[in-house]
Structure 1
Amino acid sequence: MSPSGAVEKHEEGDEAALAGGELLYCGSTIWETMGRKTVATERNLVSPTRLRNLVGVDIRFVASGCASCHCVALDVGGRCYTWGRNEKSQLGHGDTLNRSLPTIVYGLSKHKIVNAATGRNHTVVITDDRKSFSFGFNKHGQLGTGSTRNEIEAFPVASLVSEVTKAACGADFTAWLSSVEGSSIITAGLPQYGQLGHGTDNEYNTKESSVKLAYEPQPRPRAISSLSGKTITKVACGTNHTVAVDSDGFVYTWGFGGYGRLGHREPKDEWVPRLVEVFQRKNVLPHDAVISAGSVNSACTGGMPSFTFKAV
């Protein structure tokens, strides 16, 4: 399985051809306590294990994230399965019951799902006709529905984006890639560290006499204007930062800059996309490069040894 989560079968003249494979899983299965102070040691899967519900099912894509305690799997027929923590309905089944095994999201049964991404408590999927649906926590507008009126969406709802090819999720925000000219990368959600790329963190005082700060959500997906003249072909999101690559192989990062995760030789937040200097000139990334963003680091592959940018 490739680092991007897809099992790919390349055939000459048919770059869209994808074959499935068997899904193996290892790690924690105690969704209630994962990442919390209470540590459970039982029921951990300490070696790659078949998941009963997916035995005999050809899986072509899997998604989870550095801030997620839930998973998504897509089979070759475009069916979407989710499992894991579900306290904000991020599994899309209309309830808040955790699932220990992959379960089909029947609210998406009329669509063929080809791409997916997960945040801390939300999920975003892409259909074969380039629409996007999302479900789960929406307090910060991360579902891209244009509103935060419903703090939780228990079933899949349409995101206000079009002609989208890929989604990536940070903890509480989402980035989409689109084929619409001038809008190749679109973001929505929590702007706290500038991770949406629009030049602001939308910070404000909750009261005139208060020093308690809050961050105004951005529920309506918005194209990043500073990249309007670029065609963004790859995107990855960490907990609070974003990495993108354009069609010329240049790398941009923005958002939370702690630990050097943005690769700019300084631990400084960036509110708009900033070109990573090391990837200019001869070091541009090839078209088949893979990029990834963790909670405190970023990484990519290239024509030379892989790069990781973070403090060491």
Structure 2
Amino acid sequence: MAPPSRSVAVLAWGSGEDGQLGMGRCDEKDWARCIGALDAYAVSAVVAGSRNSLAICDDGSLFTWGWNQRGTLGHPPETKTESSPAHVDALIGVKIVQAAIGGWHCLAVDDKGRAYAWGGNEYGQCGEEPERKEDGTRALRRDIPIPQRCALKLKVRQVAAGGTHSVVLTQEGHVWTWGQPWPPGDIKKISTPVRVQGLEQVSMIAVGAFHNLALSVDGILWAWGNNEYGQLGIGDTQPRSQPIRVEGLSNLSLVDIAAGGWHSAALTKEGEVARGESAAWGGAPGAQGVSAAGNKLREKGNRPRRSSCAGMEPAAGSVREWVCRRRRQHLVLAVASDARSWWSDGSKSRKYGGGGGREDEVRKDSKSQTRKKL
């Protein structure tokens, strides 16, 4: 195999009970370490789910690892865990450009705009109508362990996977969804993509467990779905079946959006200033990275709030990406070959991947190879 055309290190840390760290074992790592099995590949993107992970390479090949009891990894047979990255052979010859991990299903899109799905499908989230009990009251479990085409009539630009539903953004800027909707409704064909009305010229989407975000090209942020924790950012906790505009962000230039299980975040960039600021809302207290006591955060947390990245100055680097997973937010900052991350556990914000949470650079295992440029 030819060496990768560029030097890339894929790092992982945190919970590893399902092998989601990709290091050949199912244990936790406090320090960031290289995933050695990917050293020979030019990885261009990684995605972390709650129990499994995936990596996309420059040539479009896809690797998955972690929990696999529902066929979530895309390669049979279904096993409890796979602790090392394995190539998804069903997609050989297909150039994957973007992918997403949901509750227990995955989505991917190739360079021709074709979408693929695999994993759990009892809610039709993989695009195939689920079988039901004879009385029609409950869908029967039927996993799809091998990736198959979905949303066949759509030319897709981006995919996003929720807890039990799927969302895609088409190249025309339209948003389509299928699977279990929220609030749940009487939909006979839940596996059939339905266009989300009221959204035009959308530039990106983000999906939480049961809520959705869409950013339009004119900078307007829209939200719909579950709102139990104020994750829609509209000032209350009532669910919305149709997109509603998120107020309080109109004077900000949004460059990225993210949705955790029960909270949301947006990354802003003002003018030419080389630093990022963030707005976050919803979720458990502290999930926004904003310190507050008691119910004060809960009362204010259902609207966007700007939060600063402590210790982050323009000379040191800029916020590059804001990623939310489940109830936590994971902020990645990059400077040259250094990476820093912060996370919030509901009480205070701190860095994760540095062992004790000190303001140190994320270090690599001393036994790993020479430091590579990120």
Question: Could you say which TM-score interval applies, normalised by the shorter chain?
Answer: 0.7 to 0.9
State how 1:14-53 maps to structure 2 within 5 Å. 20-31=59-70, 42=79, 44-53=81-90
Is 2:294 aligned against 1:256? no
SS at match of 2:193: strand
Q: After the TM superposition, which of the residue ranges 163-172 and 51-60 deviates more from structure 2? A: 51-60
Instruction: Specify whether residues 255 and 158 from structure 1 end up closer, same or farther in structure 2 by C-alpha distance, changes over 3 A only.
Output: same
Instruction: Specify whether residues 288 and 193 from structure 1 end up closer, same or farther in structure 2 by C-alpha distance, changes over 3 A only.
Output: closer
Mark the runs of 5 or more structure 2 residues left unpaired by the alignment: 1-43, 48-53, 132-141, 271-275, 351-374
Query: Following TM superposition, by how much is the alpha carbon of 1:109 offset from its aligned partner in structure 2, in angstroms?
Result: 2.7
Letter in 2 for 1:256: G
State how 1:75-90 maps to structure 2 within 5 Å. 75-90=110-125
Is 2:230 aligned against 1:230? no
Q: Normalising by the residue count of structure 2, what TM-score does the alignment of the two structures yield? A: 0.65
Whether contact under 8 Å (2:173, 2:202) holds in the other structure is yes
Mark the runs of 5 or more structure 1 residues left unpaired by the alignment: 9-18, 35-40, 142-147, 203-216
Within 2, Cα distance between the matches of 1:284 and 1:176? 32
Within 2, Cα distance between the matches of 1:6 and 1:234? 20
Q: Normalising by the residue count of structure 1, what TM-score does the alignment of the two structures yield? A: 0.77
Give CA-to-partner distance per residue, 1:263-312, whole Å, 9 cap, x none.
Answer: 11237330100000336994699787121111232122235552313137
Q: After the TM superposition, which of the residue ranges 243-252 and 191-200 deviates more from structure 2? A: 243-252
Instruction: Specify whether residues 89 and 245 from structure 1 end up closer, same or farther in structure 2 by C-alpha distance, changes over 3 A only.
Output: same
Identity of aligned pairs, percent?
25
Instruction: Specify whether residues 43 and 254 from structure 1 end up closer, same or farther in structure 2 by C-alpha distance, changes over 3 A only.
Output: closer
* Number of the residue aligned with 1:175: 213
Give CA-to-partner distance per residue, 1:46-91, whole Å, 9 cap, x none.
Answer: 32112231122211111114xx110001111111000011111111
Within 2, Cα distance between the matches of 1:293 and 1:283? 23
Whether contact under 8 Å (2:329, 2:343) holds in the other structure is yes
SS at match of 2:309: helix
Query: Following TM superposition, by how much is the alpha carbon of 1:44 offset from its aligned partner in structure 2, in angstroms?
Result: 3.0
State how 1:147-296 maps to structure 2 within 5 Å. 148-150=185-187, 153-160=190-197, 161-180=199-218, 183=220, 185-202=221-238, 217-248=239-270, 249-258=276-285, 260-266=286-292, 268-269=297-298, 270-278=301-309, 282=313, 289-296=320-327
Larger radius of gyration: 2
CA RMSD of aligned residues (A): 3.0
Within 2, Cα distance between the matches of 1:49 and 1:32? 13
Within 2, Cα distance between the matches of 1:170 and 1:117? 9
Instruction: Specify whether residues 272 and 73 from structure 1 end up closer, same or farther in structure 2 by C-alpha distance, changes over 3 A only.
Output: same
